[in-house]
Amino acid sequence: MRTTREYHLENPQNFKAALLQWSRQFEEIAWLDSNDHSPQHTSFDAVLAVEAFTAIKTDHFNAFSKLQEYQEVTKDWIFGYLSYDLKNDVEVLSSNNFDGLQFPELYFFQPQKLLFVRNNVLEMRYLKMAEDSMEEDLKEILAYERKITAKKSAEDEEGQMVSPSFSEEKIDKGIVPRISKENYLEKVKEMLRHIHRGDIYEANFCQEFFAENREIDPFRVFQNLNEISRPPFAVFLKLENNYLLCASPERYLKMEGGHIISQPIKGTARRSQDPEEDEKIAKILAQDPKERAENIMIVDLVRNDLSRIAKKGSVNVDELCKVYSFKQVHQMISTISAKLEEGIPPVEVLRATFPMGSMTGAPKISAMKIIEELEESRRGLYSGAVGYFNPEGDFDFNVVIRSILYNSLAKYVSFSVGGAITSRSIPEMEFEECLLKSEAMRKALDL
């Protein structure tokens, strides 16, 4: 049982910034922020979960079974992640590529303290052992808010709100690719050979950028990244020495009251500061046959995955290949829904659909095998999912893309980018799309 209190917020934006500052004292932090997108099916504007009461941390072996037991026994809010390498629990697969991050493959925790921001209201939900600290915690957060408000007012008066410029030369000295451009192009050509042989129709091919012996301030870098992108599924995650700084625009899967939705993204185009040109770019993306083909293939894969756990005839494509505009890029998004079959546990819905089709390819198992052969870095949390379960077993998870991963003990910084390779793919253009997707992470680390 949790003790609940509510407070009206005068300035939710400054209060959200204060919440993140206040959270720095804790070893376990999960911060989920919709950045005022108010996307369909969103349950709150933001939530902060801190200070683990219980936790589960494991490798891929029987990971989903262990998570199901933890979720059913806890019957409370739990927050955490599923790494891409849990594919090895779902199918007979392996992950043998280099892993500089060394994150656990699954990690969830039950927070003592939960703070929701919704419609200008703060809702604090604390476990009984922590309820005596509610009043003092709120005082501390409000003190942070006052400092942030005063600082913003001073900056506005002095005109100091100009963001630093991005220096490509500077960032390239710190962040290097795991594979060269020439090697990347050869690997895309090899993937195309698999496609032309009929081994696969489509596969998501990714490459890592990394820095060794690099110390960063994860909170500051996350604030930079979030300000650059303002995505609907932003996450700041700290679990001991491991950090995820995530600016994801993509939902993996949400279930509420037995209603399931998946919203895969396939199709990316740049934004323009010129409104007419920007609108033209979005229209070209919407009509691009290659991008539509990529998206539709993944929609079919998601429909197939959901049919394993859905009531017969309930899987439906609610929205096909719709273009949405974000701060950095235009994205092509589809929405697929289903109704859960009676008697199927919530974790089984994740197991039946994991990893998400937008980050694997079709057919899924063949694509994952080829991905493992051609990529040179272990994906880990990248292209996995972060989210939560509530006490009723409902859940919501994003896709971990547009993200920076950091092991503060190893001083290892990493981000990966990729795209769908189909028979229409041109290797040079795929490389350029990777650079476009990497821009926000590069800027965030450079600021």
pLDDT in tens, 21-80: 999 999 999 999 999 886 566 789 999 999 999 999 999 999 999 999 999 999 999 999
Local structure of 445: helix, strand or coil: helix
Among all residues, which ones are annotated catalytic? 250, 266
Spatial separation of the C-alpha atoms in residues 71 and 115, rounded to whole Å: 20
Q: What pLDDT does 254 receive?
A: 97
Which residues, other chains included, contact 324 with Cβ-Cβ below 8 Å and sequence gap of 6+? 249, 330, 331, 332, 333
Tokens of 112: 């003592």
Which residues, other chains included, contact 138 with Cβ-Cβ below 8 Å and sequence gap of 6+? 7, 122, 124
Q: What pLDDT does 41 receive?
A: 66
The enclosing H or E element of 4 equals strand 2-8
Reference 444, options 164, 101, 119, 118; nearest CA is 164
Residue type, 38: S
Q: What pLDDT does 411 receive?
A: 97
Local structure of 195: helix, strand or coil: helix
Q: Under a CB-based contact definition with an 8 Å cutoff, are residues 301 and 225 in contact?
A: no
Extents of the domains making up the chain: 2-446
State the architecture of 2-446 in CATH terms.
4-Layer Sandwich (3.60)
Q: Under a CB-based contact definition with an 8 Å cutoff, are residues 84 and 359 in contact?
A: yes
Local structure of 283: helix, strand or coil: helix
Q: What pLDDT does 325 receive?
A: 92
Low-confidence ranges of the chain (pLDDT < 50): 161-173
Q: What pLDDT does 36 receive?
A: 87
- Find the helix packing angle between 289-307 and 346-353, rounded to 10°: 140
Q: What pLDDT does 40 receive?
A: 61
